[in-house]
Structure 1
Amino acid sequence: MKILITDIHHGNGGGHVTYVMSLLKGLKDDADLTIAAPPTGRLYRYAAGLPGVRVLPGLYTSRPLSLFSEVRLLRRFLKQERFDIIHVNGGADHRHIMLASLGLRHRPAIVWTKHNTNPVSSLGHRLRAKFGTHISIAVCDYVARMLSESNYRRHPIHVVRNGIDIDSLRPVTASVKHDCRQQLFGTLSDAVVVLRSIGGTDYNKGWLVLAEAISRLDPDCRSRFRMVVAGDPPSQEMLDKVALLGLQNQLVFPGLVKDVRTVLAACDIGFVLSYREAASYASCETMAMGLPALVSDAGGLPENVRDGLDGWVVPAGDVDALVRLLNQVSADPSCLSEMGQSARTRVEQVFSTPSFLEGTKKVYEQARDLVRKLPAPI
């Protein structure tokens, strides 16, 4: 099967990079793969290091003159290459692929993955649903429900949950954990509970809500917690907020980390307290490392974590709920080990990479068969 995968991100790319790289690594031995993504993005750089994958610059701008030129070149490329599947992952690349493929005699099947919880009611979405989509992939049930209530319901919608590399992401020994904690904090008592986020420093990620909750604890309890927030460095405004909470000595920002294991290994709990979220690699990567996950009830997050078993689900933005939970953890930290084991099992059963790849392959095959049955374009 000949497959083109597109993505729009110029910078870090977050979960999109993990998603597409999982596909490329898992399918490169069984399919003819090409990826077209902005050359300034992390995805382009990472994919370029994979043998057996063709990596091309893909630009998806919205300025009329640039858009026309890009679509014209893309149409010529699609005519030449005759892809079986084009897998789009954003709005702009989806638009370009729709326009470039209209009326092609050899029509590729277009598969779109919706990674977020943004609305799908705009004119652009209605056009892409009608003219540029054969099958939609939702990364969680929450997103699937959104699609089923939109114009995308006219075509098949499949839930394919993200795949986590459970071979590389696994619990670490006590000595490794101790060393990683030392690197982040210096000398730190084993009794201190370290909470971490690898989802970034955007306000939407809710980490400042957790910081406020820690600041409200009584002094003895507050001293038993530390926070790690990995991702793009925080703004000065954010740092000022941390200082006002009196947590500047209890919160570490390691920046963008190449290997999340070095951060996860130092921690006791992972948190994703977003106000908006779909599937969240970060919560599942936490759980794969044998750590309980603390998540908000936003979007698809409650689908990842069974409250009280693999971690906790709290209302988004609810500081009081977090204060109560932190007091409980401080009073009984022994619960973390059992919950972490349950979290690891949860990921193995529901979010394995083989299941993710098998589900995506089935979508590709169905999309290809659907297109073959369509009448030829005039």
Structure 2
Amino acid sequence: MVATLAMASNSSRVEAFVCPWRGGGSYAKDLRNAGVSVLEWPGAEGAPRAYATMKLRRFAQQQQIDLVHAHMSDSAVLAAAALSGTGIPFIVTHHSNRLLPKERPVKSALRSALTKWATGRASRNIGVTNAVSERLSLELRVSGERLETISNGIAIPDDSRIIASGYHRQNRFTAQGGPRIVALGRLVGLKRHVMMIEALSRVRDTLPDAHLAIAGDGPERETLAACIDRLNLGSHVTLLGSINDVGEFLSQADIFVSMSSYEGLPVSVLEAMSWGLPVIISDVPGHRDVVQDNIDGCLVPFDDVDALTGQIIHLARHPSEAARMGSAARNKVIRDYSSVAMADNYLRLYTEILAKP
């Protein structure tokens, strides 16, 4: 999301520099190709955080940076420390309903204290949904005048690609093939991929050609592979690992599923909606901020395999309803969650903060 915002903001109005203090990875190349400056300091990855703090402070002063935009709590603490006494303002965007990770009591207390200190020094704290903003107010005591909600945004696929994708999807439904069900995200417990696999084993009894493709990698991969073997789903479920082209992956799908335990603003769900896919998602904070049930997506009770199974079968058997829902989803993302709209909202906020004496 940092990369998306930087690319959408980098213009005659904003000169963006991205400082990935934990390493830029593949995003650094994409940013540079888009004309965005990426600052990767040799030795920063794995080094003490004081090193990144010193580097950021020096760069901000030498380059006369007007404002620093940090993302998540660790970056907030780094920015607050680096900019202390410089007069350079900073803001923090919080992307998850879980503001702080679960840790041992002493470490958790220290992280909480540092985060409260950093967010208290920030010119503005931004929640990506109203639910995240409420958590900021309740847990970190962020006051009203320092709190704002700005939705994340994504790049919208061209209409021509959506038309082609929808045409092939409709043909698959008409031929009683599929459906092609997809999920996208790190293979971790909170994403509840096991639940999707269990649902697919039941869907197969009614729709023998159904297939589930899961894109992403993570520590749960072996557990998921064992579950697939146990349920004899080797020809029905594919673990793709990390993928390079999310758009191509989604363009070949019929139904998108996300069963997360919690979310901030779920970017993968927005991406699926932007491709005109009907989405079936768990009824948890973050998800329900995005989807209106049975209008532009389907909300199913958390951890309810039967409900997920039934919803997949229903959409597969009612392609016109699936198409209507997917169209409504795409229209919502274009209206409320585009990268252009996100960049415009942040530009307004940057301008407002810099106008203050």
Bin of the TM-score, shorter chain as denominator length: 0.7 to 0.9
Unaligned runs of 5+ in 1: 1-18, 182-187, 373-378
Task: Tell me the CA shift for residue 365 of structure 1.
Answer: 1.6
Tell me whether 234-243 or 264-273 shows the greater mean CA deviation. 234-243
For normalisation by structure 1, the TM-score amounts to 0.81
Higher helix share: 2
Task: Tell me the CA shift for residue 135 of structure 1.
Answer: 0.4
For normalisation by structure 2, the TM-score amounts to 0.86
Q: Does the alignment pair 1:36 with 2:26? A: no
Partners of 2:5 and 2:316 in 1: CA distance: 40
* AA in 1 matched with 2:123: H
2:55 aligned to which of 65, 73, 94: 73
Task: Tell me the CA shift for residue 144 of structure 1.
Answer: 1.2
**Aligned position for 1:45:** 29
Q: Does the alignment pair 1:260 with 2:246? A: yes
Cα pair 1:224 1:330 within 8 Å, conserved: no
Task: Tell me the CA shift for residue 155 of structure 1.
Answer: 4.2
Query: CA separation of 1:119/1:163 partners in 2, compared to 1, >3 Å: closer, same or farther?
Result: closer
1:342 aligned to which of 328, 338, 351: 328
**Aligned position for 1:376:** none
**Aligned position for 1:296:** 282
Deviations 1:137-169 (Å, cap 9, x if unpaired)?
A: 111111111112232225422211122222447
2:186 aligned to which of 200, 207, 217: 200
**Aligned position for 1:116:** 96
**Aligned position for 1:316:** 302
Query: CA separation of 1:289/1:151 partners in 2, compared to 1, >3 Å: closer, same or farther?
Result: same
Cα pair 2:154 2:338 within 8 Å, conserved: yes
Task: Tell me the CA shift for residue 293 of structure 1.
Answer: 1.0
Task: Tell me the CA shift for residue 244 of structure 1.
Answer: 1.2
Deviations 1:280-309 (Å, cap 9, x if unpaired)?
A: 111111111111111112221112111101
Q: Does the alignment pair 1:352 with 2:357? A: no
* AA in 1 matched with 2:162: P
**Aligned position for 2:103:** none
Q: Does the alignment pair 1:136 with 2:125? A: yes
Cα pair 2:73 2:94 within 8 Å, conserved: no
Partners of 2:26 and 2:145 in 1: CA distance: 32
Cα pair 1:72 1:100 within 8 Å, conserved: yes
Task: Tell me the CA shift for residue 76 of structure 1.
Answer: 2.5
Tell me whether 292-301 or 119-128 shows the greater mean CA deviation. 119-128
Partners of 2:26 and 2:224 in 1: CA distance: 25
Query: CA separation of 1:318/1:21 partners in 2, compared to 1, >3 Å: closer, same or farther?
Result: same
Task: Tell me the CA shift for residue 174 of structure 1.
Answer: 5.7
Partners of 2:266 and 2:116 in 1: CA distance: 26
Q: CA RMSD in A?
A: 2.7
* AA in 1 matched with 2:164: T
Task: Tell me the CA shift for residue 92 of structure 1.
Answer: 2.5
2:39 aligned to which of 35, 38, 56: 56
Identity over aligned pairs, percent:
22
| Residue aligned with 2:288, SS | helix
Cα pair 1:172 1:265 within 8 Å, conserved: no
1:228 aligned to which of 213, 220, 228: 213
Query: CA separation of 1:339/1:100 partners in 2, compared to 1, >3 Å: closer, same or farther?
Result: same
* AA in 2 matched with 1:144: S
Deviations 1:219-270 (Å, cap 9, x if unpaired)?
A: 2x14142111111266222201111122221112222222212111111111
Give matches, 1:323-334, under 5 Å: 323-334=309-320
* AA in 1 matched with 2:28: Y
**Aligned position for 2:223:** 237
Partners of 1:244 and 1:368 in 2: CA distance: 59
Cα pair 2:44 2:51 within 8 Å, conserved: no
Partners of 1:135 and 1:158 in 2: CA distance: 7
| Residue aligned with 1:119, SS | coil
**Aligned position for 1:248:** 234
| Residue aligned with 2:213, SS | strand
Query: CA separation of 1:263/1:152 partners in 2, compared to 1, >3 Å: closer, same or farther?
Result: same
**Aligned position for 1:160:** 150
Cα pair 2:191 2:258 within 8 Å, conserved: yes
2:135 aligned to which of 125, 129, 146: 146
Task: Tell me the CA shift for residue 40 of structure 1.
Answer: 5.0
Deviations 1:330-377 (Å, cap 9, x if unpaired)?
A: 44343211111111111122112222111111111222234x2xxxxx
Tell me whether 284-293 or 67-76 shows the greater mean CA deviation. 67-76
Cα pair 2:76 2:119 within 8 Å, conserved: no
